Structure 1
Amino acid sequence: MRFKSQIKNVNLFAKFCASLASLGQIAWCRLNDDDVQFTIIPDKGSQVWSVLKPETVFETYVLQSASPKNTINLEVPIQALSRALKSAHGSTSAQIRLTKKDNVPMLSLTIVINSLSSGNSLVAAPSMKRAGGAPGEFDFNDDMLDATFVEGGPRERETIITQDIPVKVLSMEVVERIHQPRTQEPDVNICLPPLAQIKTISDRFTKLAVATTKGSSSANPRLELSANMHGSLKISVRTDALNITSRWIGLVNPELDPAHFPDGSQGVRDHPSTRMKELGGPDGENEAGWSKVRIDAKDWSRVLSVGRVSAKVIACFINEGGLVLYVYLPNDENGSEDESCLTYYISSFSV
């Protein structure tokens, strides 16, 4: 079993792992010839299933195992990996590999940092003698060299740091029982505004909700998110003393691709989102045209941390059922048609 890779985009990989670490302590990592998968399934809160193309973060990708497609399954303490990657910020190069120390499997992260050091340098200065006493004539004698300290400029210094993260190697039988959640077809698909903007407003609403329910035995504050097929999104919070809403308009509702349906265009016409669009209108006054979910405010704030790695997020609303977020990462600076994707599954509470 072998895994070794040069990390191409340390900053992106570090932010990606940090966003996962905010949701749970342990991640299931599946490596194979086609992709790299990280999955977080906490006891409570949102699940995330991510599929990365190796070229998104890795420059070289060496993988070998006896399983089909050279598959390797690992249980990774994602918070420890996140901390290790933070130390690689500004590094010249970073390499990650699967190794074993004292019979314990390890993900070994080796980073190289080049820095400039200052100080005096010891250099050899030749001794000069007059040749035969003639004015202005000097004889450079190789046998007579004087070592002299001279003021030197900054010099480049290389530092190599290795950090080991203990992991568990999982058998194929163990991971076969892990399946992605099955959901209904969404009622609304909408491209979200910048997640940092949503997080600022959501966190502010949460603080107000907490402040107005102090001493209450109720659970954590819950936010109501709703959207329609006419480019509108709302975030609301309601308590006995508070009822506030923030609304976005002019957002994009992605078009459905008939190629993704067995019956083509008819599948698009029969899709719940098409019917939802017919129910609503541009003014958004018809409540029947809105799809709503109620989510845990603190869990939602942790999910929104993924905004640090992506600007393209599509939210799929399943009315009163849940929210699915598709977070897309381009494979390169130019943007690739074949994008890596993180999928978040967020459950909705009943009224």
Structure 2
Amino acid sequence: MKFRALMVDAGPMREFANIVTIISKLSKECILRVAADTLYFIVSDDNSGPAPPVLWCEIPQAMFFSEYQMVGLDDEHKDIYLGLSSGNLSRSLVTLKTAKSLKMKLTKKQCPCLTLEIEMPSSTSQQTRNVTHDIPVIVIPRKMWSEFHEPNTPDPDISIELPALKQLRTTIDRMRTMASEVIIWASAAGRLTLQIKTDMAKVSTRFKELRVEAFEGPIDHSDSETESQANEDMSRICYCRVDAKKLSMFLSADQVTHNRTLCSIVHKKLVILCLHTEENVRLQCFISGIVY
């Protein structure tokens, strides 16, 4: 197996570092899948053992790398799967904001490593200096690859475009100080409501006139949650109760330059958050619903 890639443009390097930072906030460990035309970052739930990923990120290599060479396991299995510490990778990329180039390659030292060679400008002369980071990796055996495929999720009941992520994150972080769970409501009329309930209060924040990508209603409601939306046609509204901390972690993606973010809801079961960038990066987060 061989892998070597070179990045020289400041914009993609900064974007790459930001993406890895977000991944490191979601999980201490991740899987890096190297394919011929795409890099994949995959994160599974820390506490669930082998399970479908909770985060799936696709980075098209042609948009980020000026050079890209890889040779997989064999002619039939052409990809490379590596397990690594997302925190180590994130800390190694901190200097990319001022770097001139980044070279990534798979090396064999005392153990397999993802080696990063970062060329930095010198503050005192015209010369540059090179900084090398060796990040230990685990080569994932072929028999385990099936655990790291893109999740096969049910068709969502609604997909709605989110407002500014920074504004959403500020709202969620305030709600987290009062409750650990948040209910996300989405309406076919383009309304998004974030709601928390405590013994002392019920707090809601509403966003209006959002673009609805798809709605597969009507929605069947047979529970007490619907009382909070009594003034609307409930057959055109779906909701899901999720962990507020996981939602906040995804919303930290506001530091990645993006053109839109979609929230898709499988009624009461699943929230799928998908961020799209101009460089065709697709960052998906899967948050399972909390059911009582």
TM-score tier (shorter)? 0.7 to 0.9
Aligned counterparts, 1:1-351, within 5 A: 1-7=1-7, 8=9, 9-44=12-47, 47-67=54-74, 68=76, 70-102=78-110, 104-117=111-124, 155-207=125-177, 209=178, 221-254=180-213, 273-276=215-218, 285-309=232-256, 310-331=258-279, 339-351=280-292
CA distance in 1, matches of 2:80, 2:149: 17
CA distance in 1, matches of 2:153, 2:231: 26
CA distance in 2, matches of 1:163, 1:21: 17
Computing the radius of gyration from Cα coordinates, the structure with the larger value is: 1
Structure 1 gap segments, 5+ residues each? 118-154, 211-220, 256-272, 332-338
Aligned-residue RMSD, C-alpha: 2.1
**Which has the higher mean CA deviation after the structures are superposed, 17-26 or 63-72?**
63-72
Q: 1:231 to 1:86 in 2, by over 3 A?
A: same
Contact 2:217 / 2:235 at 8 angstroms: preserved in 1?
Answer: no
Give a deviation string over 1:204-226, Cα, whole Å, max 9, x none: 1111x15xxxxxxxxxx111111
**Equivalent residues, number:** 274
Contact 2:182 / 2:241 at 8 angstroms: preserved in 1?
Answer: yes
Q: 1:28 to 1:284 in 2, by over 3 A?
A: farther
CA distance in 2, matches of 1:251, 1:44: 35
**Displacement over 6 Å in runs of 4+:** none
CA distance in 1, matches of 2:65, 2:164: 27
Give a deviation string over 1:321-346, Cα, whole Å, max 9, x none: 11011211222xxxxxxx23122110
Per-residue deviation, 1:228: 1.1
CA distance in 2, matches of 1:69, 1:56: 24
Contact 1:230 / 1:284 at 8 angstroms: preserved in 2?
Answer: no
Contact 1:327 / 1:341 at 8 angstroms: preserved in 2?
Answer: yes
Structure 2 gap segments, 5+ residues each? 222-229
Contact 2:37 / 2:62 at 8 angstroms: preserved in 1?
Answer: no
CA distance in 1, matches of 2:173, 2:45: 22
Contact 1:193 / 1:251 at 8 angstroms: preserved in 2?
Answer: yes
The amino acid of 1:293's aligned partner reads: C
Contact 1:328 / 1:340 at 8 angstroms: preserved in 2?
Answer: yes
Q: 1:224 to 1:76 in 2, by over 3 A?
A: same
CA distance in 2, matches of 1:179, 1:109: 26
User: Residue in 2 aligned with 1:143?
Assistant: none
Q: 1:158 to 1:180 in 2, by over 3 A?
A: closer
Secondary structure at 2:176 match in 1? helix
